[in-house]
Amino acid sequence: MTTPAFLALDWGTTNLRAWVVNADGSIGANQDFALGVSKLAPGEPERRFREEVRPALGAEHLPAVLCGMIGSTLGWVEVPYLDCPVGLPELAGALHRVEGATPPAAIVPGLRAQRPHGAGPDVMRGEETQVLGWAASDPEGARGPRLVCHPGTHAKWVLVRDGLIERFVTAMTGELFDVLSKHSVLKSTPGAEDWGAFDEGLEAAGDGGALAARLFTVRSKVVGGAMPAEAARSYLSGLLVGAEVASVPALLDAKAEGPVVLIGDPVLTGLYARALDRLGTAVEVHDGEAAGLAGLKALFGQGGVA
Amino acid sequence: MTTPAFLALDWGTTNLRAWVVNADGSIGANQDFALGVSKLAPGEPERRFREEVRPALGAEHLPAVLCGMIGSTLGWVEVPYLDCPVGLPELAGALHRVEGATPPAAIVPGLRAQRPHGAGPDVMRGEETQVLGWAASDPEGARGPRLVCHPGTHAKWVLVRDGLIERFVTAMTGELFDVLSKHSVLKSTPGAEDWGAFDEGLEAAGDGGALAARLFTVRSKVVGGAMPAEAARSYLSGLLVGAEVASVPALLDAKAEGPVVLIGDPVLTGLYARALDRLGTAVEVHDGEAAGLAGLKALFGQGGVA
């Protein structure tokens, strides 16, 4: 018999994903909600969680573990960043119990790490749960030093060593693609991926330097008669991903071993795998949702939330 | 006595600037119009020029020379690009007489050049007139090889040799600043320049590589507690300009001599001068409007427009 044990939530900027996790580790009811914190007013997350999310999953009486931007200033309560290096035990020990929440709700803190060479702090909220969820599922691989990449609006390149997130660097590649495609002279409308154009973009990315100049080729190749306008969107995608994989890992200033671990949305990890493969870099790909769920389970187990 | 000789126009994407030029080279009536081609419907430029611009300047009977985006698909008539290398004589010889325009109107063609290393075509419309206007005013300096930079929405880095524009590379730094400041997680509102923050951005630009990752520090330094939110806008500006000056000139693949020639809006050339100075690069600064007017005068004189 499966007994519901807790409610796991990955509550991000644009979306909320929730799962009922049973005592035997299996998954019960689960659902996506268009309740990203960027769409909610102050005070709204708590109410929507109580009035909509819990009832929809029949989870009114379960303790909950929540990760992601729900712990930011935009979320339910602001949970201070935890400074790296951080592993699952440290993360579980720092779970933030929301005051007055019944049944109990615990929010996973985001992480802060200093970039090398005095380049200042970097931050994440949500990806730590996926990365450490992967680490829990592959302790040998997470001994490292290992390079983990989580593509997305704000892509993370993470150095994992001895099962700990040691440091990381964020590249806002996804957001650049989004704002340039919507609001700039490079604007375009979504369509089927043109893999030839994507690869041409990877090629045009070169060593990843001079990005502002390479970006203009999306336009100048079209108006200069060297590329059809329909190819511009995939070319831009290839250019941005190519520039990231060629130049961002070096900012971590670390010698990693083994394949790059790609964790995230399968469409995005597919683009990054293609870009890394072109550089001769081996990868292994993991589904971000499964990794996140593994992380939330481990945190519930270690965090004593019930 | 000053006799009006022709009407000079720099007609760009967002603005139109027009001058009555007298036979002795002095300037008569002149005015800015909020008639950038991006705001006009097809067919509108000709009508607004005839009905508004000419009468406002008392220039109904003068021949006109027009440079800028007015020669693009958004403009009056599309004028094909002229392929580099191009000097003033070639540009004057390729002026496009608008069919049926009375009095005569001649549009300066934009330029196209191939980037080195097979990186495809690059294009400009308008900056060629300013760069060659400067070259006409300083033939010795324009013998080169000389690096000329024209900052703006789409900044141009131009290699000038023997008075010719040999090739160039565009960096969309200004547009990146604009779309990121308006539409991204880095958004901010205009205010007084914070020079300390601008310089910190220059420093953070490093060698100009990994831009998508360096850009995120605008956000992570604020939420990570290392920079006040009010400093983010100037820091972003310094970061983008710093990355451009550190990395884009190399794409020209040329050994230039003498100070970098900065031509353009004085506020922008001031930012670039500061960034280049920090790299130990000497500059000389020229006003873009004056250079453009010098170019239009030379084109009128050599182009036989009257």
Which of B81, B121, B220 is facing A123, going by the closest CB pair?
B220
Q: How far is A217 from chain B (nearest CA, A)?
A: 7
Number of folded domains in chain B? 1
Q: Is residue B187 part of a domain?
A: no
Q: Which of A207, A213, A223 sits opposite B171 (nearest CB)?
A: A213
CA angle A179, A181, A183 (to 5 degrees): 55
Q: Do B243 and A175 touch (CB under 8 A)?
A: no
Q: Which residue of A has its CA nearest to B82?
A: A224
Mean pLDDT of A55-67: 97
Query: What is the amino acid identity at position B159?
Result: L
A83 in contact with B at a CB cutoff of 8 Å? Answer: no
Inform me whether the C-beta atom of residue B211 falls under 8 Å from chain A C-beta atoms: yes
Cα–Cα dist A30/A25, whole Å: 14
CB of A213 within 8 Å of any CB in chain B? yes
Please indicate, yes or no, if residue B77 is contained in any of the structural domains. Answer: yes
Distance CA B190, CA B210 (A): 26
- Put simply, whether B120 touches A (Cβ < 8 Å) is yes
In a domain, residue B179? The reply is no
**What is the helix (H) or strand (E) element at residue B246, kind and residue range?**
helix B232-247
Among chain B residues, CA nearest to A80 = B224
Q: How far is B219 from chain A (nearest CA, A)?
A: 9
Task: State which residue of chain A sits closest to B187, comparing Cα positions.
Answer: A179
For the cut 80, the answer to whether the pLDDT of residue B1 exceeds it is no
Query: Quick check: is B217 in a domain?
Result: no
- Chain B partners within 8 Å of A121 (Cβ): 220-221, 224-226
pLDDT digits (tens, 9 = 90+) for A121-167: 999 999 999 999 999 999 999 999 999 999 999 999 999 999 999 99
A62: exposed, middle or buried (Cβ count in 10 Å: 0-12, 13-18, 19+): buried
- Select the residue from A14, A172, A203, A253 to test the B interface by mutation, using most B Cβ atoms within 10 A: A172
How many of the other CB atoms lie within 10 Å of CB of A260? 21
Within-domain flag for B236: no
Residue A91: pLDDT band by 50, 70, 90 thresholds? very high
**B215 inside 8 A of chain A by CB:** yes
The residue segments making up the domain with residue B75 are 4-138+290-303
What is residue B2's predicted lDDT score, i.e. its pLDDT?
85
Residue among B79, B111, B179, B245 with most chain A CBs within 10 A, to mutate: B179
Residue B43 lies in a domain: yes
Q: What is the pLDDT of residues A198-232, one digit of tens each?
A: 999 999 999 999 999 999 999 999 999 999 999 99
Q: Is B208 a domain residue?
A: no
Confidence category of residue A1, pLDDT binned at 50, 70, 90: low
Residue B127 phi, psi (nearest 5): -65, -30
Considering only CB atoms, A221 lies closest to which of B121, B171, B185, namely B121
Distance from CA of B122 to the nearest CA of A (A): 5
- Domain with residue B15: its CATH number is 3.30.420.300
- Cα separation, B41 vs A99, in Å, equals 59
- How confident is the model over B2-56, as pLDDT tens digits? 899 999 999 999 999 999 999 999 999 999 999 999 999 999 999 999 999 999 9
Q: Is residue B123 part of a domain?
A: yes
